[in-house]
Structure 1
Amino acid sequence: MSVRHFLDIDGAATLPTEELSLVDQSVADLVRTQAMGAVHGPAGLGKTFAVERALARRVGEVAACWVSFPSRPTMRLVAATLLEELTRVPVTGRRDRFALTAELLEELADHRGRDPRERLLVVDEAQQLNRECIEFLRYLHDHRLTRFALLLVGGDGAWKVLAREPMLRSRIYRRVVFRELTGEQVCALMPRFHPVYAEVAAETLLFVDDHFAHGNLRDWAAFTATAVELCRAGGRDRIDEAIARNAFALHGGTRAGAATR
């Protein structure tokens, strides 16, 4: 299983953030205990990348199934989509969600006699699900016939649903919260991210963060991809304020930070 950075920037390195380490440990713990977990936070902070990286390190140990849904899916759509991902066979006909649930319970049953790897179901963009759909996943996970770990990955909306329901929240064994990089983290980590930031003054890094990226890794990646091209075109090894301003212009100008930051 290969893991790619956003925009697949040549020379970019994986940043050793605390969240990356926590996700790696949480995936290991969830697989070991076959429990439920949640990874959540604002968009663009590397949640999916962190889970993909953790699973890439455990290809021989974990049978992972990834699934995502459109906004506000019905329980039948959740059941049908999940069954298709597990079986790789399109769901046809007019089967209702009860019939699909029965098939899901069979597919999610303890499969260690056929495959020694533990199973992990990853629900990406979990904030799209309402309480009933998350409760449906909980039902599948807790059923006496099934054996799999369940990881919900997405925006903070997913955690808001879980937090309102004690029966759901109490089942979350591992929880990792992603937040934007602080200014201190930007100065410490970005020089490790790409050579164009090597030995760049902290003031310049903070200038980029304050006017464009605001601690968001996806925005930093977008800026970096553009900055690399500008440095190459100008015969430069690293960025300065002039290159930063040119990059801002190519992205439509500076960007306001999130209201919560």
Structure 2
Amino acid sequence: MIDLDLDYGRLPAEDADHFHRLDAHLVATEPLMTTLENVEATLEAKAMMCAFGPAGYGKTMSVNSALRKLAPEHTYRLELRSGPTPRDIRHGLFHALGLPGEPPTRPIEFDTLLKETLAQTFRVLVCDEAQWMGRSSFEYWRHLWDDRKTDIAVIFAGGDNCYKVLKREPMLASRMFIWQEFQRMPENEVVANVPAFHSLWQSAAPQRIRDIDRAAAHGNFRNWATLTKHMLNGMKKKGLSEVTDDLVQWVYSKVAGM
């Protein structure tokens, strides 16, 4: 199902990228810069790209950040859940593209409308949470992209399952221009990047950051956002001005090792 709202299909504001809407900074990590390079190449080629990896490693944030720089007015996002069918994708595109009237009831008419719309001007179609899609849904995207009149680039962002589904289907896999895998952030990068991520950590000792990463964050920016939120709440509750050992243990009691 697709969550319908007035902003559906548009790039979110930058402050909405951070988990828990944490007041944090976008850090120019190596994956972020690689995504910018890969998205730019995909748009120039009007091709298809797959950004994949476990949850919390920055796929969506990196893709959104790149598209804000490269094609903010030409980007249309779909976030699909619960095993979407081609019908769900049709309706999602209808809503994201802001098409007038009621959606056509017959698939062939619906496809004609979408293809005609996607032939009018260049658009970037982003399918977030692509791990929920099966073969038929990926095939539908291929059907739209293969049409000789449509003027589109397609970016999939999702978990490992979207990579596995695509790789099992040679006709789909062969059309991917770029594959980008997101992985756990190495410890040395955690120590370098976390102080820039949020002011809470600017004065933290590198060893404290290492210890927290080993115990709970595991090189995952989403985990760091959750831990930071708990730390800030705990400091406010306990009247603290800095991160202490007791506060760290208090936070650990809430996250169960994540």
TM-score (structure 2 length as normaliser): 0.86
- Residue by residue over 1:149-189, the C-alpha shift from the partner in whole angstroms, topping out at 9 and shown as x without a partner, is 00011111111111111221121112221112222222221
Map of 1:144 onto structure 2: 148
Match of residue 96, structure 1, among 106, 115, 126: 106
Q: 3-state SS of the aligned residue for 1:239?
A: coil
User: Residues 69 and 227 from structure 1, CA distance in 2 versus in 1: closer, same or farther, beyond 3 angstroms?
Assistant: same
Structure 2: segments with no counterpart, 5+ residues: 1-10
Map of 2:257 onto structure 1: 255
- Residue by residue over 1:177-212, the C-alpha shift from the partner in whole angstroms, topping out at 9 and shown as x without a partner, is 111222222222112212221242233212222222
* Structure 1 residue 106 corresponds to structure 2 residue 119: no
Q: 3-state SS of the aligned residue for 1:82?
A: helix
Map of 2:56 onto structure 1: 44
State the alpha-carbon separation in 2 of the partners of residues 181 and 90 from structure 1. Answer: 46
Counterparts of 1:118-197 in structure 2, within 5 Å, are 118-197=122-201
Structure 1: segments with no counterpart, 5+ residues: 112-117, 257-261
Map of 1:24 onto structure 2: 36
Match of residue 223, structure 1, among 217, 223, 227: 227
Map of 2:76 onto structure 1: 65
User: Residues 88 and 208 from structure 1, CA distance in 2 versus in 1: closer, same or farther, beyond 3 angstroms?
Assistant: farther
Map of 2:90 onto structure 1: 79
User: Residues 134 and 248 from structure 1, CA distance in 2 versus in 1: closer, same or farther, beyond 3 angstroms?
Assistant: same
Counterparts of 1:2-21 in structure 2, within 5 Å, are 2-4=13-15, 5-10=18-23, 12-21=24-33
Q: Percent identity?
A: 31
Offset, 1:229: 3.1
Q: 3-state SS of the aligned residue for 1:57?
A: helix
RMSD of Structure 2 on Structure 1 (CA) = 2.0
Q: 3-state SS of the aligned residue for 1:176?
A: strand
